[in-house]
């Protein structure tokens, strides 16, 4: 994943954007073909009727929103994802139209961001032990939102704008890496074993169901307010995700035992 943006930037600058898209599509076909080499066995289970399925969905959602810590994490993640996708809808346009960056430079900037994700994932366990689960989730969300805001901070001189955007993506990815490593195990620590699949599905449906809505809002805001204004507004509103953690029992939670 860390090498992907570098490779994409090289393909765009050396060949063309359609070539990069074609290479990306080919990678998915290769991944699908390689699945045939993975040993598999059928999982035991029985088909659920529509009424039973709706009941299971309701049970998952009830568990998520009826558990204060799960509710806080879900709403914090959903809020951040919504505004991050609003930000993402105009981010590349800002790089190419406002800053005039070429494909290779964009690839380098995004690649630096991907390295930040690796740094965040590696340091997350140590940071969790050092300052505690709740405080670390708060810091990680704030770091991610702060990183987002840096992308629109400078437009001139050119070199300073590029450095600022690279730092922006690095900090954003560090925050996301730390947050994701720490927040995902919470659902397995708090949900009963038999409900873990339903809880996980409920959280993912809520969080990722907000992503396309955020992108729609970001695109509309970019057209109405401008690219830089949308980036800054999305960053500020993304930082509001911290409030869900701050107002929940997670604020004073150091760890959860699995």
DSSP H helical segments within 192-252, as ranges?
196-209, 211-225, 227-239, 242-246
- pLDDT tens digits for range 82-126: 999 999 999 999 998 988 888 788 888 888 888 898 999 999 999
Q: How confident is the model at residue 130, as a pLDDT?
A: 92
DSSP secondary structure code for residue 46 in this structure: -
Tell me whether residue 198 is in a domain.
yes
Cis peptide upstream of residue 157 (ω within 30 degrees of 0): yes
Average pLDDT for 150-177: 90
Tell me whether residue 171 is in a domain.
yes
Q: Considering only residues 182 and 19, tell me which one the structure prediction assigns the higher pLDDT.
A: 182
By residue range, what is the domain housing residue 177?
A: 72-251
Tell me whether residue 13 is in a domain.
no
Tell me whether residue 258 is in a domain.
no
- pLDDT tens digits for range 44-64: 555 555 568 888 888 888 999
Average pLDDT for 146-164: 88
How many structural domains does the chain have? Answer: 1
Question: At 11, is the pLDDT very low, low, confident or very high (cuts 50, 70, 90)?
Answer: low
- Centroid of chain to Cα 204: 12
Percent of residues, the chain, with pLDDT higher than 90:
55
Tell me whether residue 34 is in a domain.
no
- Are 221 and 94 in contact, with CB atoms under 8 Å apart? no
- Are 81 and 211 in contact, with CB atoms under 8 Å apart? yes
Q: How confident is the model at residue 47, as a pLDDT?
A: 54
Tell me whether residue 5 is in a domain.
no
- Are 231 and 95 in contact, with CB atoms under 8 Å apart? no
CATH code of residue 228 = 1.20.1250.20
């Amino acid at each position: 994943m860390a090498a992907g943006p570098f490779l994409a930037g090289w393909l765009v600058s050396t060949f063309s954007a359609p070539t990069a898209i074609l290479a990306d599509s080919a990678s998915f076909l290769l991944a699908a073909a390689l699945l045939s080499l993975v040993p598999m066995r059928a999982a035991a289970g029985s088909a659920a009727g529509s009424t039973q399925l709706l009941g299971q969905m309701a049970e998952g959602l009830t568990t998520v929103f009826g558990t204060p810590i799960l509710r806080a994490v879900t709403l914090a993640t959903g809020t951040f994802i919504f505004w991050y996708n609003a930000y993402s809808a105009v981010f590349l346009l800002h790089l190419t139209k406002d800053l005039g960056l070429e494909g290779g430079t964009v690839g380098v900037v995004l690649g630096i961001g991907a390295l930040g994700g690796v740094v965040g994932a590696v340091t997350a366990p140590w940071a969790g032990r050092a300052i505690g689960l709740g405080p670390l989730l708060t810091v990680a969300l704030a770091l991610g939102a702060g990183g987002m805001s840096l992308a629109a901070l400078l437009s001139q001189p050119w070199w300073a704008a590029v450095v600022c955007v690279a730092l922006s993506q690095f900090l954003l990815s560090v925050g996301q890496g730390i947050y994701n490593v720490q927040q995902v195990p919470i659902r397995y620590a708090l949900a009963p074993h038999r409900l873990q699949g339903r809880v996980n599905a409920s959280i993912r449906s809520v969080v990722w169901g907000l992503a396309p809505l955020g992108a729609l809002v970001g695109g509309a805001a970019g057209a109405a307010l401008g690219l830089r204004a949308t980036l800054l507004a999305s960053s500020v509103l993304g930082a509001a995700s911290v409030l869900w953690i701050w107002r929940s029992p997670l604020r004073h939670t150091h760890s959860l035992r699995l």
